[in-house]
A = this chain, B = another copy of it.
Amino acid sequence: MERISSFNQAEKDFFMMEAIKEAKKAEAIAEVPIGAIVVYQGEIIGRGHNLREHSQDATSHAEMFAIQEACRKIESWRLEECQLFVTLEPCPMCSGAMILARVEEVYFGAADPKGGTAGTLMNLLTDQRFNHRAYVEGDILAEECGTLLTNFFRQIRAKKKKTGQKE
């Protein structure tokens, strides 16, 4: 069965804007600006933003927090009728968490050429060998999502140059 999207373009943009709001929360505390939300029946039931440096925990990705909050909200590890929006293409850990939680649809903003596993390096979310496959769509407000990241890294480089710190 071919999976189709539950949303029209305006709805996709609306929810990605909510993920971008999350990314900006990360940016505000000097974390790499990546944000994610989980949607259930049109309502946002999980939110998260990258917190790796503050938590000093390698698993502190935006998507993980959004999935964990969504599981708490619906009191189930199965997010079968949920959609996830994330500003950057998910890494293997987060793609794997989406498979485990059986997220129905995954939307991302900017592609990640270095580690994206929702279509760029590979697509774990549609791999027939796993026991769950999701509908996957990238390039949702990709420019806004990507600009957040490039500006963030540009500022870090400028700061390092100013203080003479090695990159």
Chain B residues closer than 8 Å to A56, beta-carbon distance: 71-72, 75-77
Do B100 and A58 touch across chains, with their CB atoms under 8 A apart? yes
Chain A residues with a Cβ closer than 8 Å to the other chain, count: 40
* Cα A130 to Cα B92 with chains together (Å): 10
Question: Dominant SS at the A interface?
Answer: loop
A55 to chain B, nearest CB (A): 7
- Binary contact readout A37-79 vs B (1 if CB under 8 angstroms, 0 otherwise): 0000000000000001101111111001001100110011111
- Binary contact readout A79-103 vs B (1 if CB under 8 angstroms, 0 otherwise): 1000000000001111111011110
Chain B residues closer than 8 Å to A115, beta-carbon distance: 129-131
A4 within 8 A of B: no
How many chain copies does the complex carry? 2
* Cα A36 to Cα B127 with chains together (Å): 26
Do A68 and B57 touch across chains, with their CB atoms under 8 A apart? yes
A77 to chain B, nearest CB (A): 4
> What are 27 A-B interface contacts by the 8 Å CB criterion?
A55-B71, A56-B77, A57-B77, A58-B77, A58-B78, A58-B79, A58-B97, A58-B102, A59-B64, A59-B67, A59-B68, A59-B71, A59-B100, A91-B100, A92-B92, A92-B93, A92-B96, A92-B117, A93-B93, A93-B96, A93-B100, A94-B96, A96-B117, A115-B129, A115-B130, A121-B129, A122-B122
Interface residues of A (CB under 8 A from B): 52-53, 55-61, 64, 67-68, 71-72, 75-79, 91-97, 99-102, 114-115, 117, 121-122, 124, 127, 129-131
